[in-house]
Structure 1
């Protein structure tokens, strides 16, 4: 018989085990999977725990000195539904009340469902201590917007449906969400902001950041929005950045400032990664001497 090739293993030698490269790749994959599960788990815990308070100072040139330090609690995208129910609403309300704001601004996407199904979940809103104002988000128009406007009014909030109210130091206005256009209830900036005294500061509640362009045209000083969830989690962050002028935080557009909250809840999976939920206390600052 032919002699074995020098260095060849004997014919009855055991088959070689997994290579080092395969072993390392499995370890890396396992570590990545563990990290992903941990990240999602922590992100879910962060949502269910309830939003944290964020504080932002916003100077307004037209604000009188007497209003320096005026506090607006901004909450958006609570998304009450099958997962985030009455207990979650209670956490949101308790957190808002703890900040002792002068007013509360609920800037849309309160619910994902009908008044019939979610009315009890929204009931804690009745406990908000400061005067509270509400504008619709796109999800209200998937959930029966007219019924929800009446429900929040019954709970003591003041809906601003393309309307404004003159508070002692500034005008507070609100416009309907863009999604209302399909029902003939879209935003009407002229109705909300026309004929006002432009020497007074104006704060606008508008669910979607993209509404800032109309706000600039109507000489609004500050727009308060939500809608983006700060991206919530990948790839939502990429989609939010593509569709919105500002994804989160405070930015200036001409003479108008826009603040976008990351929201209190979550839509879809109750998970946030890199975009923690918040309730923002906006403290207005007068710049007049």
Structure 2
């Protein structure tokens, strides 16, 4: 590891530790006032465990603590959500408490009163966010492509990005995916990356392939890699597992479907940056060059970071995920700055671009300002 990475990592850990300490202190002031606690050492140990639970759980998945690694990771994930909204809510609560104190209010009002209101708001955010994460919706789009697609006039696509199968998301959430796809009744199913949540081991151990393999569509199922497949470092094993259940992973490849249209699958842009990623990916121009561009071209690209090139190279429909729409507001303000389109639909020249907030989630099973979703995309081929 280089020095710059080590310094950055230390800086992140110091900031994370400081914020966790701030939240822990606020919690102690409130809880000790309500319950008259006097065991600060035990309380500090619990807060430290909460702050480290995700790291311990993630690192312990392949060790002797594997039976408790999953629960620790889940607890730590919720701590991330508490941390984010605590950082937003607690300073305001502290200011209100200070003003009440300076105004002569009783301690019950400025400590217990503000603390209770803040706790209720935080709890409601977690409850609503958990519902949004585990209760996917179907979101519908209709696009027109001015090309002939053999004898086909319409195409219905079911798309699910960012499933993040692992220790938190498993067969239960996959069954929700099966139900939503069945409602859509698609001609083809497209999965634009991050099917795994880093490690392939829970996917294999919990036999998620058996459930995922129940997806069916007349024209097949196509997928691409996302950044989390590369973080896990088991891309060849992932591709083999998908192939075994009839899901074709396109690695800078194209597929002509029913002599009617092309599916173009790009490696994720992370493919050159992780230990199992290989030598990066091909530009869109090279993928398109050998194709009959009079046929519709549908591209799967996990990250919506190359829309300009997609439009310039004649891609008709680009499908992406990755952003989660920030997952927890106000994070969407960041993804809006990072991507030209971080969620929804954009028409760019002849390109129809659609970005999903994802079916699963990363970290906390919490979504505020976004929903877990499956997309129904109805494509109409209207030759000019």
TM-score range, shorter chain: 0.7 to 0.9
1:107 to 192, 202, 207: 192
Structure possessing the higher relative contact order (Cα contacts under 8 Å, 6 or more residues apart): 1
Distance 1:32 1:133, change over 3 A: same
**Aligned pairs (5 A) from 1:70-219:** 70-119=155-204, 120-130=207-217, 131-143=220-232, 144-167=234-257, 168-182=259-273, 183-188=277-282, 189-219=284-314
Q: CA deviation at 1:287?
A: 3.0
Larger strand proportion of the pair: 1
Tell me what 1:259 maps to: 354
State the shift of 1:113 in Å. 3.5
Work out whether 1:58 is the aligned partner of 2:143.
Answer: yes
User: Is 52-61 or 28-37 further displaced after alignment?
Assistant: 28-37
Unaligned runs of 5+ in 2: 1-102
What is the Cα-based RMSD across aligned positions, in Å? 2.3
Query: 1:5: which partner in 2?
Result: none
> How many equivalent residue pairs?
272
TM-score by length of 1: 0.86
Question: Does 2:169 correspond to 1:46?
Answer: no
Contact 1:48–1:84 under 8 Å retained in 2? no
Segment drifting more, 56-65 vs 151-160: 56-65
Whether the 8 Å CA contact 2:166–2:200 is kept in 1: the answer is no
Which residues of structure 1 form unaligned runs of 5+? 1-16
Q: Flag the structure with larger Rg.
A: 1
- Post-superposition shift, 1:23? 3.5
Equivalent pair of 1:86/1:122 in contact (CA under 8 Å)? no
User: Under a length normalisation based on structure 2, what TM-score does the superposition of the two structures give?
Assistant: 0.66
1:249 to 341, 344, 362: 344
